[in-house]
Amino acid sequence: MSAESSNTVAMTQSEQVLDGSSRSTATTLASKLGVGEQTARNNLKKLEELEIIERLSEKQRDKMALYRFKSK
């Protein structure tokens, strides 16, 4: 599997995990997906850049920042 397709799979899995709850942290997401926290953070950052989710923390480097789907 190419790096690009594995990123797509990881992002899709991340979306599915977030869909089951109103909010999630990178740590929770990593645990549910069986990936490292950095991988989970990277996936969340990509979903945020695509304006699919939003980060709910004011702090720049908040390891416990919550993420949720953007309101429509």
Domain that holds residue 65: 3-69
* Segment-wise mean pLDDT, segments of 10 residues, the chain, 72 residues: 57 63 82 89 90 85 83 68
Q: Name the domain count of the chain.
A: 1
What is the rounded CA–CA span in Å between residue 2 and residue 55?
28
33 φ, ψ (degrees, to nearest 5): -95, -15
19: tokens are 């869909």
Residues 21, 18: Cα–Cα separation, whole Å: 6
Which CATH number does the domain housing residue 12 bear?
Answer: 1.10.10.10
pTM value is: 0.69
What is the C-alpha separation between 9 and 24, in angstroms, rounded?
19
What's the confidence (pLDDT) of residue 36? 93
Q: Which amino acid is at 70?
A: K
pLDDT of residue 6: 52
pLDDT the model gives residue 9: 57
